[in-house]
Structure 1
Amino acid sequence: MNRTPLSIAFWNYDRVQPLVSGAIDIDGVDASFHTERIVTEIFKGMIADRKYDVSELGMTYLLRVLDKPDPEFVGIPVFLNRAFRHSAIYINNASGIERPEDLAGKRIGELALYGHDAGVMPKGILSDEFGFRPETARWLIGAIDFPMEPVRYVPQPHPDHVQVEWAAADADLGKMLEKGELDALISADVPKCVLDGSPNVSRLFKDFVSVERDYYARTGVFPIMHTVAVRRELAETRPDLVKALYAALCEAKDSTMQGLLRGMTFNNMSLMLPWATNLLQENRDVLGQDWWPYGVAKNRPAVDAILRYHYEQGITSRQFVADEVFVPYLMDT
């Protein structure tokens, strides 16, 4: 049987390893798998360098591309990276910020983009639940802790009434937060000063796990960070291959999940993580038996939220709907 070669790029997630190892096959595909030092380099490889046929993409990267004429890519409803993001808001402890409403009037750093994937969700939540508006703060966009090339390969819009600056190439927003040069920071990556336990910094939401679990219980939103994009031409001409890719990604995720569940019998001793079994059970109690769902139906609240937030925050020119983001023949998943 002839197989179609496809170049596929993901970060090194446990949920894709059964594909990368060859334990799970993509029907009809001769796949070559690729990864990079940091995940944004995968995005650049797909969007700017046209290196891959299929690639992980941050939701905001995909939506910024879709907002251009004749977009080259389209999504499939697989969500490789997702995270609750109340915990992504950090503060300098001398800034006078004690509650979300205190962010108004402050100087806030943000990693990589105005509206990076871990920034859109917190801003949306702060707006929905606490009345915070991004235009009431001053924003500085830059890197933290390690070198990162500026993201110049996607549009970088922001509303005219929001004050946004870009930091110098050698700036470290984490160090600026610790020194008090920033009042707060929103970042997908945890700043070194936080990991090191600096007394100068903390999270805005101290008991963030309880806050995030309560948020899920009330909204049904498990925030989506990254999806999977395919070249539109491939999606339109070979739906059989895209359906096979979706099925294989689902099987790989389910295989990894089942491995973790089987490991609970032996207290997940393969993981160097105390209380891992208890955490898995707690997650299943809160999020359900399929705690990391793929497909459209189980992810409607999260998809609708991220699409609405992009529009409300001026990242996309209009509010997209799921049918415009994902291939039509996987909308019933």
Structure 2
Amino acid sequence: MKFMPMPASTTPVSITIATRDWDYLTPLVLGDVTSSRLSVKVDRVATLIPDLCTDPNYDAAEVSFSRYVSAMASGRDTVVGIPCFIMRGFRHRCIITVSDSPLVRLSDLAGKRIGVTGWRDSGNTWTRAALRREGVGVEDAYWFAGRLTSEHPVADRLDGFGRPGRIEAAPGERPMMELLAQGELDAVFTPFMPDGFFGPASGFRQVLRDFRAAERAYFADVGYVPGMHLVAVKAVLAREHPWLPQELARLIDESQRVWTGKRRKYADTSPWILEELLHAGRDLPASWNASGLPANRRMIEDFVTELHAQGILTEPISAEALFPFDARSRATAA
């Protein structure tokens, strides 16, 4: 990944970024990864901030890929997205059901009642994409959007995309895990497993018993790990310091590189984390989480295609239009 040259300066630019509590940012938080041009304070937040542009506390933030694409497609360019995907993950593992369910394949979900934590959420968009690859489109199931558990707030999770008889709010705003346990839903999409899921008697499981095999096959076909959240900075800041977006991406990438090295060395924090690290190191290329437009072009274009196919995006938008700073900086460097 090439980066724009930065002007000489004696005082680094200071910014504050809001992100989820991703462990691989630890080297950046602790100051093990630094820049002579950019000083970054990481503020860990429980949920994504609603609007980076108008938030007085932050200069940059982790933002929803889906909502960023929708904003850019509508001409709202008050923030500059960086193709640095701070949250990535396969989604086959995110479809859960009850332990004694007969559902064992994604194609089994045709005609079923499926709960989602938010209709336009990036992760749920990717999960529906996985179903669509198996012949189950939006029109082939019944969808209910709602809160995962009673600890989650009641909120509008349809976001204007509801359709009676096809995409509706969860009945009575009841928690979806309750609806699933009582047989009123057949499956639930969730980005994070609910409390108790990891216990031996949770009563729930992934629909795909061997989701790792499905995800490996998916990667072999598409060549990427889906991105859900990306890093963005306020447009006014990017215009004032054109080098800043890519320098921020460099710091985040370096933090993840340093963290991965330490994680592999100090693997005894979990009995079998070494096995997971071995799988990731051997089954995926070293560039699986690389930042930049060239490394992520196919993933970006596939995501836009899905947003359009699922009715979330009215018209497609190009990768260059989504990430103009990255595209311009590479043209300048060339």
- How far 1:117 moved relative to its partner? 2.1
- Equivalent position of 2:119 in the other structure: 114
Equivalent positions of 1:171-186 (< 5 A) are 171-186=174-189
Secondary structure of the 2:167 match is strand
- Residues 128-183 of structure 1: CA deviation (Å, up to 9, x unaligned): 2x11111222211111235334666x992438587222237862111211111111
- Residues 59-89 of structure 1: CA deviation (Å, up to 9, x unaligned): 1122232233333222111111111111111
Note if 1:286 corresponds to 2:283.
yes
Consecutive unaligned residues of structure 2, counting only runs of 5 or more, are 1-9
Which of 13, 16, 22 is equivalent to 2:31? 22
Which of 67, 70, 86 is equivalent to 2:73? 67
- CA 1:331–1:9 in structure 2 vs 1: closer, same or farther (change >3 Å)? farther
Which of 86, 91, 105 is equivalent to 1:80? 86
- Residues 85-127 of structure 1: CA deviation (Å, up to 9, x unaligned): 111112246665343233222221001x103222111111211
- CA 1:25–1:42 in structure 2 vs 1: closer, same or farther (change >3 Å)? same
Q: Which residue type is aligned with residue 117 of structure 1?
A: S
- Equivalent position of 1:229 in the other structure: 232
Equivalent positions of 1:168-317 (< 5 A) are 171-192=174-195, 194-198=197-201, 200-261=203-264, 263=265, 268-269=266-267, 271-317=268-314
- Equivalent position of 1:141 in the other structure: 145
Q: Which residue type is aligned with residue 84 of structure 1?
A: F
- Residues 308-331 of structure 1: CA deviation (Å, up to 9, x unaligned): 111111112222222122223455
Note if 1:163 corresponds to 2:166.
yes
Q: CA RMSD in A?
A: 2.8
Q: Where do 4+ consecutive residues of structure 1 move more than 6 Å? A: none
Note if 1:43 corresponds to 2:49.
yes
- How far 1:47 moved relative to its partner? 5.9
Q: Distance in 2 between matches of 1:281 and 1:94?
A: 32
Query: For the Cα contact (< 8 Å) 1:303–1:322, is it kept in 2?
Result: yes
Percent identity, aligned pairs only, is 24
Secondary structure of the 2:80 match is strand
Q: Distance in 1 between matches of 2:286 and 2:39?
A: 32
Q: Distance in 1 between matches of 2:51 and 2:41?
A: 15
- Equivalent position of 1:34 in the other structure: 43
- Equivalent position of 1:126 in the other structure: 131
Q: Which residue type is aligned with residue 183 of structure 1?
A: D
Q: Which residue type is aligned with residue 299 of structure 1?
A: N
How many corresponding residue pairs? 321
Q: Which residue type is aligned with residue 14 of structure 1?
A: D
- Equivalent position of 1:91 in the other structure: 97
- How far 1:205 moved relative to its partner? 1.0
Consecutive unaligned residues of structure 1, counting only runs of 5 or more, are none
Q: TM-score, normalised on structure 1?
A: 0.85
Secondary structure of the 2:81 match is strand
Q: Which residue type is aligned with residue 33 of structure 2?
A: I
- Equivalent position of 1:4 in the other structure: 13
Q: Distance in 2 between matches of 1:278 and 1:57?
A: 31
Q: Distance in 2 between matches of 1:176 and 1:96?
A: 17
Secondary structure of the 2:289 match is coil
Query: For the Cα contact (< 8 Å) 1:142–1:169, is it kept in 2?
Result: no
- CA 1:228–1:172 in structure 2 vs 1: closer, same or farther (change >3 Å)? same
Q: TM-score, normalised on structure 2?
A: 0.85
